[in-house]
Structure 1
Amino acid sequence: MSEAHPSADGLQSRRRRLEGLGTAELVELFGRLDSAERAVQFRLLQKDRAVAVFEDLDPRVQREVVDSLREEATTELFAALDPDDRAPLLDELPAGVAARLLEDLSPDERAQTMALLGYPEDSAGRRMSPQVLTLDEDTTVASALDRVRHAPESVETIYVLPVTGPRRRVHGVVSLRRLLVSDPEARVADLMVPAATVRATDSSEDAANVVRDGGYVAVPVVDTEDRLLGVLTVDDAMRVLEAADDEDAARVGGTEPLRRPYLSAPVLSVVRSRIVWLFVLILAATLTVGVQSYFEAELDAVVALALFIPLLIGTGGNAGSQAATTIVRSMAVGDVRTADVWRVLGRELLTGALLGFSLAAVGIAPAAWVAGWDIAAVLALTVVGVCSLATTVGACIPLVARRIGIDPAIVSAPFISTFVDTTGLVLYFSIAKLILGI
């Protein structure tokens, strides 16, 4: 029996195996399978588990699952999702399929989903849940708890409840724990605390940082007049930050993020994620070749200089990448802001100089043994200069990029490689001309 048409015993065996796995384990499993096998195993899940797993899959994997299901099953699965889980999937689906799925929703569900789609793709409005339970200021604790007990299952969270006044303006929040331990006759207004809110038009990453940094279970999402639109929960915030970290890590390494599990990504997608930066780095390498051609006479006079070119380029590139990675990460968690540029540059200049002196101290004797003390001195001074330049530039690029509205991770790797390779060689040959008199 072929894998595409497994036997009844084989299906039962797979079903029992799937039943023994948790939701997180199933999500990981489906991320590792090819589309055909994933379709077979997804159909073996019970409805409730299928919905729970589907919600946590990457949107591009979700699309492949949708493509593999019958129209009725797709409609049923789509309707079971929360509005904030539908929006990323709709971005991946063809327009015709998306329109059909929206048409099959109830008017209320369709309106909520369309409202989220009206916000920019990377905004907090796209990530929020509009299904939120609110309390009035004058509500008593007893009445509030009664509302919680009778809240529909579609409500995103009951652990933190926004307290609203006229026109749904947010006046504060109250936790379920506070309600449970308070006098049943107390007013909610006397128990609420000021709310940390985010705007629907804020970037999703900035909003997620508010949730993480404040240790909140959820934060209200409001419009420009502080009217409640929904809530951003901690689980959605963590997904946003995880995706942002993956994106930064990929771009610092000179690739585009795959936005899906590696093993489920088509090989052509992996190629596309890497090829652009390789072209950029090849163009950058031509500048290095140009510098070497310009100093060809010096290389002919002292051939030993060529021995250390790969070492200098590698050292400078690594030092610059270390600095850039540190600053990009520090910016992501809010430790460093663009206003800190001069403090950062001063620290990295000193750091680079100390790194350069340390490497020069260790390497000068071996270099002298290989090529003589004159070239060893050239190499030592160049290493100090290259490390100082590389760390300073590596720290400066992300800050400048953020200032002009570019993702720091996008420009760091290719620009550092280009600048450090080129300026490092110019510095190397200039010092050589000065010390060796060539």
Structure 2
Amino acid sequence: MTDMTVDDSAADRLESALSGRIDRSAMDTVANLAHQVSLPELTRLVHTTTPLQSAVLFRVLDKDGALAVFENLTPSYQADLIQNLREPEIADIVEGLDPDDRAELFGELPANVTRRLMSGLDAEEREMTTAVLGYPKSAIGRYMSPEVLSLHEDWTAAEAMEVVHSRIDGPETVYLLPVVGPGRVLLGVVSLRNLIAADESTVISEIVRDSISTHALTDREEASRQFLSHRLIAMPVVDEEERLVGILTMDDVLDIVDEEDAEDIARSSGSEPLDRSYLSSTIVRLVRSRIVWLLVLAVSAILTVQVLEVYEDRLDQVVILALFIPLLTGTGGNTGNQAATTVTRALAVGEVRVRDLGRVIWRELRVGALLGAVLGLLGFLVAGLVYGWAIGLVIGLTLLSVCIMAATVGGLMPIIAKRVGADPAVFSNPFISTFCDATGLILYFSIATAVLGLS
């Protein structure tokens, strides 16, 4: 408890020192405080301060500490930080990164900076980094580690262990070892545990087992979800000819899934994801992430206003109908959003595929009918007792219809988005809410016209 209190206090004082004027004495203070702060706290401070303040903090960290903190930053924030570091400091950090992490960083930097940093790498590191950069940003090959320790099928366990010992410090992981044949064609994998347990004379081909692999051009989220669904510790990556080109590890998969989930959550609420922490984002960046969606939704909401204008004469005849508009539009939007969120998640984890469209529509139609029956009965009783049974019948039938429509549309839209190659999250909550508002009002006034005999 005492150590934690000291660390928190030092972190607060370090944050305060970084926020003030930085001169020689201030740099000494920052250096002294930085040595009292834990690595997670240093990472948090670098991630939540401005790039210039972060650069000041970086300059007082030793090489290992700076690299450890740098690896925990998002690529976009790494790129901002690079702009404020001196060339020797940048070279040391870039050289210490794994090829896949280095490729992510280079993807965020200007071309001239990337060329300069690439020229400072040795030939082997440059070749591996170039190989990863050759894949599209959306492909899993961009996030694999090309530095993979593979075994040949005709080696003995003793020979394989000798290779593992000699190259233990190079690869990102040695817990799962791909086995290759002629031309580096992937044959399977051997776990380090099984290799250690095998008799020294055992040939690798005798203990190899089938592996779950992915193609280097596979979409990064699809490959990551497959990785997690099979509870893997590593997964070989192959090219079109099934040749081993790299390996995907758990830390890379978790980063991808976190980024994709953050993007889905942001877009489902009508905004763009931030590429850096909230506190270190400028006001302009925060506004930019939200304004486009607000404008789109504002324009689309005009449809709802036009629907009300069309049925204005019905409202004049039965003013009481206006009281229930928020209830009905809110119920439709919430029902649609629930269905969309459920189906979007099912698509993400592979539980639902595009070809399941018919099954999803049929399920959501029944779910919507049951939800609508419960809410409609409740609405009929409450509204009927207070405003008369004719109004109660209008409200009950509208709730039933709106729930069926909203649940069906909510389940349908993410699959359509997936089919046309769009992000299902974009098609979900914001647009579904607007669609259900307008369509729900049309259903509401149509039912009211029929039941109450309006003209």
Decide: shared fold, TM above 0.5.
Answer: yes
Inter-partner Cα distance in structure 1 for 2:247 and 2:283: 38
CA contact 1:280–1:414 (8 Å) conserved in 2: no
CA contact 2:344–2:414 (8 Å) conserved in 1: yes
After TM superposition, the score normalised by the length of structure 2 is: 0.92
From 308, 320, 333, give the equivalent of 2:336. 320
Bigger shift: residues 182-191 or 27-36: 27-36
Backbone CA RMSD of aligned residues: 1.7
Q: How does 1:27-176 map to 2 (within 5 A)?
A: 27-151=43-167, 153-176=169-192
What is the number of residues matched between the two proteins? 435
SS in 2 for 1:262: coil
Aligned-residue offset at 1:149: 1.0
Please say if 1:285 is aligned against 2:301.
Answer: yes
Inter-partner Cα distance in structure 1 for 2:65 and 2:311: 67
CA contact 1:14–1:41 (8 Å) conserved in 2: no
Instruction: Look up the match of 2:349.
Output: 333
SS in 2 for 1:73: helix
- 1:5-45 superposed Cα distances (whole Å, 9 cap, x missing partner): 36366224422332xx24x4543342222323322222232
SS in 1 for 2:177: strand
Inter-partner Cα distance in structure 1 for 2:389 and 2:290: 42
From 198, 202, 205, give the equivalent of 1:182. 198
* Runs of 4+ more than 4 Å apart: none
Please say if 1:410 is aligned against 2:429.
Answer: no
Inter-partner Cα distance in structure 2 for 1:268 and 1:370: 50
Please say if 1:11 is aligned against 2:33.
Answer: no
Inter-partner Cα distance in structure 1 for 2:349 and 2:391: 44
Instruction: Look up the match of 1:377.
Output: 393
Do the aligned partners of residues 370 and 42 (structure 1) sit closer, same or farther apart at CA in structure 2, a change above 3 Å counting?
Answer: farther
From 224, 249, 259, give the equivalent of 2:275. 259
Inter-partner Cα distance in structure 2 for 1:238 and 1:201: 19
Paired AA for residue 234 in structure 2: A
Inter-partner Cα distance in structure 1 for 2:21 and 2:33: 12
Unaligned runs of 5+ in 2: 1-16
Paired AA for residue 364 in structure 2: E
From 250, 254, 267, give the equivalent of 1:234. 250
CA contact 1:196–1:220 (8 Å) conserved in 2: yes
Inter-partner Cα distance in structure 2 for 1:17 and 1:232: 35
Instruction: Look up the match of 1:273.
Output: 289
CA contact 1:284–1:417 (8 Å) conserved in 2: no
SS in 1 for 2:245: strand
Paired AA for residue 33 in structure 2: R
Bigger shift: residues 418-427 or 146-155: 146-155
SS in 1 for 2:279: helix
From 264, 267, 282, give the equivalent of 1:248. 264
SS in 1 for 2:352: coil
Instruction: Look up the match of 1:346.
Output: 362
Inter-partner Cα distance in structure 2 for 1:8 and 1:348: 61
Bigger shift: residues 88-97 or 36-45: 36-45
Paired AA for residue 265 in structure 2: A
Inter-partner Cα distance in structure 2 for 1:163 and 1:25: 41
Instruction: Look up the match of 2:320.
Output: 304
Paired AA for residue 194 in structure 2: R
Paired AA for residue 393 in structure 1: V
- 1:62-96 superposed Cα distances (whole Å, 9 cap, x missing partner): 11221121111111211111110011111211121
After TM superposition, the score normalised by the length of structure 1 is: 0.95
Inter-partner Cα distance in structure 2 for 1:137 and 1:150: 18
SS in 2 for 1:171: strand
Aligned-residue offset at 1:369: 4.8
Instruction: Look up the match of 1:215.
Output: 231
Inter-partner Cα distance in structure 2 for 1:192 and 1:372: 76
Inter-partner Cα distance in structure 2 for 1:295 and 1:319: 24
Inter-partner Cα distance in structure 2 for 1:168 and 1:180: 23
